[in-house]
Amino acid sequence: MRIETLAVHAGHTTDPSTGAVAPPIHLSTTFEREGDGSFRGGHTYGRSSNPNRTSLELSLSALEQGVTALAYSSGSAATLAILQSLSPGDHVVAPSDAYYGTLRQLHEIFAGWGLVCDTVDMTDLTAVERAMRPTTRIVWCETPSNPMVRVVDIARIAELAHAAGARCVVDNTWATPVLQQPLALGADLVMHSTTKYLGGHSDVTSGAIVARQDDDFVERLRLMQRVGGAVPSPFDCWLVLRGIRTLPWRMRAHCANAMAVARFLEQHSSIEAVHYPGLPSHDGHEIAARQMSDFGGMMSIQVRGGEAKALGLAARLKLFTRATSLGGTESLIEHRASVEGPTTATPVNLLRISVGLEHPDDLIEDLAAALS
């Protein structure tokens, strides 16, 4: 079945008790035991499982072509569960430009628990190969990456990970399963901040992991979810699943709008660089064209004249909201260097843009006015 159909139907059945077509939200934290000790719907207690969470997990698993999915209370909680499933002394290879929260977990939480980490430029496969150790358990990748929108060859990274006896994890938040399917490319686990495109409306914080096979490591992830307890609420699950119904169609518009905006900005004399994998000038364009079905709604730009010019542009825009995050219906713009602090490697004239679902001509007119 095609992804548009899966998005509408996977994890969805008409409610058997009422005939309701839209799923009811099951707030009950506890479920009745039958006289023989069994449970009618398979649910016992809300932390362990919940009907809304099960529906969401079935949907996520189908979208990513996985065998099982686990929903968490945020993308960061999903990342934390993966790293918590490792043992002291284990080694992780991560991209030097990974989502900064992922790097903070590695450096500020897990280093103290004996997890060893090396960060490398993942576009350099030799560097990835050199970083491997006998104790490497996870090779983490994120593509397109934040905030430079670099593109990493998932199939090659997965091969390198497997040759070293490690698992390849892909943070697929930016691309979504609509544009990129890491498990089919050889990755073992996909991690999502469903807060972003999957939720799609900037109104729910949640995360997930999808696995290619259900093995001992996935059993650990399940332990972290059910016993660790960082689970999304039933309403959170309901909102993400509702977002997923329209995901494939929203992604088409995000991609088309971003391409139009990128083309406009690329030819503008006040813009020094546009980082968008859909542009043939982008370093990762060829890999992106091979492993993605389209190029996504995220880009970053560097404004000619430095930090003040970048901040000035962001301040003059009317349709782009100055806010962090991404993947909602509204366009957002953010000066990443201010968010990441004084130690950041992000250029100070860089603005990250999440292109929303407004008409592209309105977005371009807004940018043109702010740049003039």
Asked if 50 touches ligand PLP (CB under 6 A), the answer is: no
Record the tokens describing residue 244, joined without a space.
Answer: 């997923």
Nearer to ligand PLP, 147 or 347 (CB): 147
Q: Find the distance separating the first CA and the last CA of the chain, reported in whole Å.
A: 48
Q: Which of 188, 228, 246, 185 is nearest to 76 (CA)?
A: 228
Q: Is 147 exposed, middle or buried (0-12, 13-18, 19+ CB in 10 A)?
A: buried
Task: Kindly state the smallest distance separating residue 178's Cβ from ligand PLP, in Å.
Answer: 16
Q: Cα–Cα distance between 319 and 147 in angstroms, integer? A: 21
Q: Give the sign of the dihedral formed by CA 288, CA 161, CA 174, CA 274.
A: negative
Which residue of 31, 85, 99, 337 would you call a contact of ligand PLP, by CB under 6 A?
Answer: 99
Q: Where are the beta strands (DSSP E) in 259-335?
A: 271-275, 298-303, 321-322, 332-334
Per CB under 6 A, contacts with ligand PLP among 332-371 are none
Between 190 and 209, how does the x/- string for binding to ligand PLP read (CB under 6 A)? ---x-xx--------x-x--
Asked if 105 touches ligand PLP (CB under 6 A), the answer is: no
Please identify, among the stretches 68-76, 264-272, 274-282, 286-294, the one whose residues bind ligand PLP according to the rule CB under 6 A. 68-76
Residue with tokens 């939480």: 109
Task: Kindly state the smallest distance separating residue 369's Cβ from ligand PLP, in Å.
Answer: 29
Catalytic site residue from 72, 99, 197, 276: 99
Between 121 and 160, how does the x/- string for binding to ligand PLP read (CB under 6 A)? ---------------------x---x--------------
Q: Give the sign of the dihedral formed by CA 340, CA 346, CA 350, CA 352.
A: negative
Nearer to ligand PLP, 120 or 209 (CB): 209
Residue nearest ligand PLP (C-beta atom):
75
C-alpha distances (whole Å) from 111 to each of 87, 108, 341 are 11, 6, 21
> Three-state SS for 311?
helix
Task: Kindly state the smallest distance separating residue 73's Cβ from ligand PLP, in Å.
Answer: 8
User: How many other CB atoms are found less than 10 A from the CB of residue 17?
Assistant: 6
Task: Kindly state the smallest distance separating residue 142's Cβ from ligand PLP, in Å.
Answer: 6
Tell me the backbone φ, ψ of residue 327, rounded to 5 degrees. Answer: 85, 5
Task: Kindly state the smallest distance separating residue 352's Cβ from ligand PLP, in Å.
Answer: 10
Asked if 186 touches ligand PLP (CB under 6 A), the answer is: no
Is 171 noted as a catalytic residue in this protein? yes
Asked if 54 touches ligand PLP (CB under 6 A), the answer is: no
Asked if 225 touches ligand PLP (CB under 6 A), the answer is: no
CA 337 vs. chain centroid, Å, equals 21
Q: By the criterion CB under 6 A, which residues form the site for ligand PLP?
A: 74-76, 99, 101, 142, 146, 171, 173-174, 193, 195-196, 205, 207
Active centre residues (catalytic): 47, 99, 171, 196
